[in-house]
Structure 1
Amino acid sequence: MIVDAHAHLLPKDYPADAPEGFPHMEPVEGSADRELVFGKMRFRAKEVFFEAERRIEAQDASGVDAEVLSPMPPLLRYDLPAGDGMTLARHVNEFTAELTAHDPARLIGIGLVPMQDPDAATAELAAVKDAGLVGVEIASNILGSSIGEEKFRPFFQEVERLGLSVFVHAMPAPMDRLPMSAMGTYVVGIEGTLAAASMILGGTAAACPDLRISFSHAAGGLALMLPRANYFWGGSWNEEPRDLERAVMPDDGPSPIEYARRFYYDSMVFDRRAVRFLIDLLGADRLLVGSDFPAMLREDPAARTLRSMDLPAEQWEDISWRNAFRWLGRDSDASTTEPAGLPAEATNR
Structure 2
Amino acid sequence: MTGEWWPELAPRIEPTASEKPAYRVVDVHTHLSVPAGEAIAKPFFKPEYEPRIRYSSAETLRYNREYRASARQSGQFEDAEVRLADMDRQGVDLQVLSVPPTEYFYWLDEREALKACRVQHERFAEVVARHPGRFAALANLPMNHPALAVEVLREAHEEFGFNGFELSADVLGLDLDDRRFDVVWEAAAELEMVAVMHPQGFTHGQRMSDYYLVNVMCMPLASTLATTRMILGGVWRRHPGLRMIVVHGGGYLPFYYARTDHAYEVRPELREHIDRRPSDYLRELYFDSNVFDPGMLRHLVSEFGAEHVLLGTDYPFDMGTVDPLGFVERAGLDDAERRLVLGGNAARLLRLDRP
Tell me whether the two structures share a fold, i.e. TM-score over 0.5: yes
Alignment of 1:95-110 (within 5 A): 95-110=123-138
Q: Which residue of 2 aligns with 1:6?
A: 29
Q: Is the 8 A contact 2:164 2:195 kept in 1?
A: yes
Q: Is the 8 A contact 1:19 1:84 kept in 2?
A: no
Letter in 1 for 2:174: S
Alpha-carbon distance in 2 for matches of 1:53, 1:171: 27
Do structure 1's residue 193 and structure 2's residue 224 form an aligned pair? yes
Work out which of the residue numbers 196, 200, 203 in structure 2 matches 1:167.
196
Between structures 1 and 2, the one with greater helix share: 2
The structure 1 residue matched to 2:235, chosen from 196, 200, 204, is 204
Residues 213 and 327, structure 1, Cα contact 8 Å, conserved in 2: no
Instruction: Identify the match of residue 21 of structure 1 among 16, 41, 44.
Output: 44
The structure that is strand-richer by fraction is 1
Give the CA deviation at 1:124: 1.5
Shift of 1:299: 4.2
Distance 1:304 1:60 in 2: 14
> Which residue of structure 1 lines up, in the alignment, with residue 331 of structure 2?
309
| Partner-residue secondary structure (3-state), 1:198 | helix
Tell me, in whole angstroms, the C-alpha distance in 1 between the residues paired with 2:261 and 2:296. Answer: 20
| Alpha-carbon distance between aligned partners in 2 of 1:269 and 1:302, rounded to the nearest angstrom | 11
CA contact (8 A) 2:40 2:112 kept: no
CA distance in 2, matches of 1:6, 1:214: 10
Residue 276 of structure 2 corresponds to 254
- Tell me, yes or no, if the aligned pair for 2:36 and 2:119 is still in contact at 8 Å: no
Larger deviation, residues 130-139 vs 248-257? 248-257
1:296–1:15 CA distance, 2 compared to 1 (3 A) = closer
Measure, in 1, the Cα distance between the counterparts of 2:265 and 2:345: 29
Deviation per residue, 1:93-148 (Å, 9 max, x gap): 11111111112322001111111111111122111112122221111100111112
How big is the alpha-carbon RMSD for the aligned residues of Structure 1 and Structure 2? 2.7
Question: Pairwise mapping of residues 233-244 of structure 1 onto structure 2 (< 5 A)?
Answer: 233-234=264-265
Is contact 2:139-2:153 (8 Å) kept? Answer: no
Matches of 1:276 and 1:197 in 2, distance apart?
22
TM-superposition CA deviations, 1:169-214 (whole Å, max 9, x none): 0221332552313211111111010111122111111122122211
CA contact (8 A) 2:290 2:320 kept: no
Consecutive unaligned residues in structure 1, runs of 5 or more: 24-40, 236-245, 334-339, 342-349
The verdict on how the C-alpha distance between 1:6 and 1:18 changes in structure 2, with shifts beyond 3 A counting, is: closer
Q: Give 3-state SS (helix, strand or coil) of 1:114's partner.
A: coil
* Identity across matched positions, percent: 27
Question: Of residues 134, 138, 142 in structure 2, which corresponds to 1:114?
Answer: 142
- C-alpha distance in 2 between matches for 1:111 and 1:189: 22
User: Residue 229 of structure 1 aligns with which residue?
Assistant: 260
How far is the alpha carbon of 1:18 from its aligned partner? 7.2
How many equivalent pairs are there? 306
Structure 2 equivalent of residue 143 of structure 1: 172
Relative to structure 1, the CA distance from residue 155 to residue 298 in structure 2 (aligned partners, 3 Å threshold; closer, same or farther) is: closer
1:283 to 305, 315, 327: 305
Q: Distance in 2 between matches of 1:277 and 1:97?
A: 36
